Structure 1
Amino acid sequence: MIEDLNSRYGLTPVHSEVVEACKIVKPCHALDMGCSNGRNALYLSQLGFNVTAIDTNAGAIDMLQSISLEQNMNNIKPQVYDINNASLSEDYGFISCTVTLMFIDPSRVDDVIADIQKRTLSGGYNLIVCAMSTEEHPCPVRFPFTLKTGQLREAYDGWEFIKYNEDVGTMHNGAKLQFATMLARKPD
């Protein structure tokens, strides 16, 4: 049974798309990009994934390290890493990047996505959720980066889309905005 470690440690709930993806993606070597304090990494760990959790915030990584030690979770590897580098050094069966891309340097997005794709094993999955700004739904939050209509779909041309939409949603702070949500499988 999965314990609600997030509420115990005062973290926001696991992202709903991570929960949904785990109904399809089987435990494997996973990467949680922009993990913050580890809300998704803790969940993946409890499901049996071996999780590398990366974020630029050293304080958040320290907190996740403390939680994983306290919980005897030896299948989480928290690391300080700047996603803008686009130079991942390991391959993964599942890469989760939820509400993270909008905080990176816009000039690095294509390189970051290319690096994610390169570091995904054949038959592996990428989950991306990112804010959008469109004519119909201009983004009300001043993120450094937002996706345009169809931009994420085009970046994953040739992958199998398990899920893809560009729907209006609500962030955990209540802000309503349009998101691109994608779960895609890399061809074998």
Structure 2
Amino acid sequence: MTDLNSLYGITPPHSEVIDACTHIKPCSVLDMGCSSGRNALYLSQLGFDVTAVDSNANALQALQSIIEHEDISNIDLRMYDLNHAALDADYGFISCTVTLMFLDPARVAAVLADMQAHTVPGGYNLIVCAMDTDAHPCPVPFPFTLQEGQLGAIYQGWEMLKSNEDLGTMHNGAQLQFATMLARKPL
């Protein structure tokens, strides 16, 4: 498998997406906030049917150029503002890594509910989001951060394959606490 991310100078796929793919067989996947396509390209190469959405037209245009140059047929790009929380299809896997913290805080609950509603029974949601806690105040002024235990409470009733609130480092070097969850929707 050609490493398209390296070939095009794109950040490698998120480590949690790579890990999730050890549990999830190729299916329809939504890459929420795809940006330059680091996760979308990786998922497409594994055989997933990828819908990649973002509100950044320049990022989508750059990714479209790669898709055309590489003749990739399993990535569908869409301009979409995640704050709308109005998905129009159901997915076996929804990936939302380091994206929620850039959304309107008043819309995050609706976005998460929409993700859950548009996940097929037995499907998966992957979320990685910055936290702001007393022990580890967030050093970056994101519009939204999760609180301790908040994500687990929202996904109560789902099977937790992974759930932690560990310290991590963003690709820009900032160290902060992240809530990470891979959950499977009940059948």
| Aligned-partner SS, 1:54 | strand
* Fraction of identical pairs, as percent: 67
How far apart in 2 are the matches of 1:154 and 1:166? 13
Question: What is the aligned partner in structure 1 of residue 159 from structure 2?
Answer: 160
| Aligned-partner SS, 1:41 | helix
2:73 is aligned with what amino acid?
Answer: N
* Deviation, structure 1 residue 143: 0.3
Does the alignment pair 1:150 with 2:155?
no
* Deviation, structure 1 residue 23: 0.3
Question: What is the aligned partner in structure 1 of residue 103 from structure 2?
Answer: 104
Show structure 1 runs of 4+ deviating over 4 A: none
| TM-score when normalising by structure 2 | 0.99
Question: What is the aligned partner in structure 2 of residue 67 from structure 1?
Answer: 66
* Deviation, structure 1 residue 8: 1.2
Question: What is the aligned partner in structure 1 of residue 21 from structure 2?
Answer: 22
1:89 is aligned with what amino acid?
Answer: D
Aligned residues: 187
How far apart in 1 are the matches of 2:46 and 2:67? 14
How far apart in 1 are the matches of 2:152 and 2:64? 34
Does the alignment pair 1:83 with 2:82?
yes
Q: Which runs of 5+ in 1 are unaligned?
A: none
* Deviation, structure 1 residue 10: 1.3
| Aligned-partner SS, 2:5 | helix
How far apart in 1 are the matches of 2:151 and 2:103? 15
How far apart in 2 are the matches of 1:37 and 1:169? 22
* Deviation, structure 1 residue 51: 0.1
How far apart in 1 are the matches of 2:68 and 2:76? 11
Does the alignment pair 1:133 with 2:129?
no
Question: What is the aligned partner in structure 1 of residue 181 from structure 2?
Answer: 182
**Which deviates the most, 63-72 or 105-114?**
63-72
Question: What is the aligned partner in structure 2 of residue 10 from structure 1?
Answer: 9
Give me the CA root mean square deviation: 0.5
* Deviation, structure 1 residue 155: 0.4
Q: Which runs of 5+ in 2 are unaligned?
A: none
| TM-score when normalising by structure 1 | 0.99
* Deviation, structure 1 residue 80: 0.7
